[in-house]
Amino acid sequence: MKSEGQQIYGLRPIIEAIESGKNLDKLFFQKDLKGEQAKELLDLAKEMGVSVIKSPKEKLNKLCRANHQGVVAFTSPIEFGNIEMLIQEIYERSELPFFIMLDKVSDVRNFGSIARSALSAGAHAIIIPHKGAAAVNEDAIKTSAGALYHIPVCKESSLGEVIRLMSASGIVTVACSEKAEKSIHYIPLDRPVNLLFGNEGVGIEPHLLRMADEAAMIPMYGAVSSLNVAVAAGICLFEAARQKAQSDI
């Protein structure tokens, strides 16, 4: 019941870790776990926006061989940002907000690669959901070539609420999807913009697609009709960077 590097296990140690301000990336919680401390931890995790994954005991035993008491957590190596504060700060600097939002992109290497491209293209932050997103861990940081230490990551309970906040703040959300009819090259991106990308398998959730202001696709000329999400994100990020550079000339 102690902390081991990026892993924390045991009810009380995890409760104390959250209360002391540690950033937890994920909390694995045994499905049939009951008791006052277990409820206290669940309530606290929900309040602090920690991703809770309810798992069988066998899963937790694989994660941790010690007496984990039905709970295993992993700390995040980065500090998560606050999207409302970021939007305000960006406008105060007289800059055009430039965000990328990932709807349940679950592969750590894809996430790391996207972070590297986002930083290089000048994006202000990456927005991910609490549930279903890739772990923000050392593998992600390594794949990002350290970019995750330099670009804010905002972990949000509802991407839909963030899109509404952006709309109220004058930021246009562009859903990047192979099902769109308009090319990304004909979408104006030299304005406050949020590029939205979906999960590797199912794409963008339908309700988020409906909430987006515009939809864009990448023109494809070969026999393969789709791209890896990290490659697609890189293309769209640098199309936005190109347009912004041209508008500054």
* pLDDT of the residue at 3: 36
Domain boundary among 19, 41, 75: 75
Positions in the chain whose pLDDT score sits under 70: 1-5, 249
pLDDT the model gives residue 189: 98
Report how far residue 174's alpha carbon sits from residue 119's, in angstroms, rounded to the nearest whole number: 19
Q: Which of 51, 75, 99 is the last residue of a domain?
A: 75
Looking at the structure, tell me whether residues 65 and 184 fall in a common domain: no
Range of the domain at 52: 3-75
The DSSP bridge pattern shows strands 172-176 and 214-216 to be parallel
Residues 66 and 32 placed together within one structural domain of the fold: yes
The reported pLDDT for the residue numbered 55 is 93
Which pLDDT does position 223 carry in this prediction? 72
Q: Are 74 and 100 in contact (CB under 8 A)?
A: no
pLDDT value for 154: 95
Query: Of the candidates 41, 75, 109, which is a domain's last residue?
Result: 75
User: How many structural domains compose the chain?
Assistant: 2
146 conformational bin, left if phi > 0, alpha if psi -120 to 50, beta if neither: left
Helix (H, G, I), strand (E, B) or coil at 104: coil
Q: What is the CATH number of the domain that holds 134?
A: 3.40.1280.10
| Same domain flag for 34 and 148 | no
Same domain, 231 and 153: yes
CA 125 to CA 166: how far, in whole Å?
Answer: 13
Are residues 63 and 90 both part of a single domain?
no
